[in-house]
Structure 1
Amino acid sequence: MLKVFDDKQARRVMELARETLDIEADAIRALHTRLESDDSVARAAAILFACTGRVVVSGMGKSGHIARKIAATLASTGTPAMFVHPGEAAHGDLGMVTAQDAFIAISYSGESSELLEILPVVKRMGTPLIAMTGKPQSRLAQLADVHLDISVAKEACPLNLAPTASTTVTLALGDALAVALLDARGFREEDFARSHPGGALGRRLLTHVRDVMRSGDAIPAVSPGVPLAKALLEITQKGMGMTAVVDEERRPVGVFTDGDLRRLIERVQDFSRLTISDVMHPNPRRVHPDQLAVDAVAVMEEFRINQMLVTDADDKLVGALHIHDLTRAKVI
């Protein structure tokens, strides 16, 4: 293993790491204390909740990176939002902003020239302005309809120069706003899934049984009177490790699986006179096409089964589901 630091240097690294975490944790605790006697977050949240357009978040440098994250968090939790670079805004992108929007400007000094150049235009449009600064007397803070104080006693940087504790506080306050708005909007798991269709939660909450079930000729099914040998051929051909047993109306009356066959071999030597109705399990478990696929997973896990039948409102067989189908669809 490559050793970069000697023991003294390694101890110094760990000392600074712990000190950084302490400073940033203290900064967030100080923010928490300030909010006990300050209703600015509630006023800012009210502006954002009432916004009929989008929340535009802007900042330069490190504040710009935090602004992007805040915009992304708002957008993914039910508050339409976007990031606008203040430099680009001064050269045309300000056209994205309307009077129906709300504007969050982030600058620790409150004196960012790029922001101060565009904010008079934002104000003239009548767009509400929320400022996040560490300087309540700054020009940006004075322009704002609501000022959110993100001041810190010191940065974690040993030189007290690089934005560290201040960006942590800003990000935490942005998260606090997003969570407050999420709750006010009644935002739920289903809403989150709709904005994250490519994620695991999206797949779990948006995938229905009909999306992953096998249908048509791919469904293994036989009638109750067929010989067991013919039923075994159906199991082999359809590759689901089971077959449904259905009546004349195609309603399931039973199911027979590979596991049932193995257990049957232990008890019976001669299969030639058996029909599938002699050995099937009656009243098989089933789900409906419109149920969530995760509901089928729950039933499979509860009863330790790998296959399920899918029936419509008239209890007619319309599909079949294997645990592998759910795995391929990344529902599990």
Structure 2
Amino acid sequence: MKKLINDPKAVVNESVEGFGLAHADLVTVHTDPLFVVRKDAPVQGKVGLVSGGGSGHEPLHAGYVGRGMLDAAVPGAVFTSPTPDQILPATTAVNGGAGVLHIVKNYTGDVLNFETAAELAAAEGVEVRSVLVNDDVAVEDSLYTAGRRGVGGTVFVERIAGAAAERGDDLEAVTAVAQRVIDNVRSMGAALAPSTVPHAGVPSFDLAEDEIEIGIGIHGEPGRHRIAMENADGITTRLLEPITADLNLGSGDRVLLMVNGMGGSPASELYIVYRKAVALLKERGVTVERSLVGNYITALEMEGASLTVLKLDDEMITLWDSPVSTAALRWGV
């Protein structure tokens, strides 16, 4: 294992500390317990948005803390849920009197710990709602969750719900728009090579040189099937077809398309995937209105990519285009 780290046990703390130093204009890092809040938190009268999960998926979640997205992010250990004693103070720290929305990826540990924190916050007088992101069409159940996993669609939920909160929507309305995004977003990914968790020191799964995993999870969970390596167009087709079928995409639909790198694939390869995905959608009469290409929700240094497609409406486009200022997404400011 070769990594730019010091002590494997200190990776998350040192990384978050460095993140805070690099983006001190945007965020404040709290170290005991560990969580990240936007610089001006709490914003009075605004719904606060909190998300989090295991580290190793950067820029998710801390990279999306700031104006127009999250008010707080709670990082757990690598590929491990944050604890309620982190989530609770993050929740209270961003409570500006309008309530707080928890955006939770569908992994068992995340669900249980955010539920516990929400109950504790309610006991302190904070109104908390929760939405569950479950956009992965690859499998119904996995090692980490019951039901579909929460993956790339989380970025879209955080952005669009964050924009709604920023414009002044109340807690009920922000929750509703977050749920509408969840209902209309789907993802699927593929791994060409595994990642290595620092404290483990060995790859999280085995793939032969001529094999790839279709439908991989962001923690290295197995997907739909393991196949022989094929070209980028073939892999893209395998990932996109289940998404378009699940969303029932057809002529006249407008979408937001993200080609996301899993951490170890270069941008040049991601654009080849994007090229094919756009062509396949065009064949269906689907228009790509907005797009992202790059590393937005990773799995350490895993080689591979995921596709995320959101069926858009006019309000979603307006919210997406509104100003955002975070370490990982920034426009209109």
Higher relative contact order (CA 8 A, sep 6+): 2
TM-score (norm 1): 0.28
* Structure with the bigger percentage of helix: 1
- Higher Cα Rg: structure 1 or 2? 1
* Structure with the bigger percentage of strand: 2
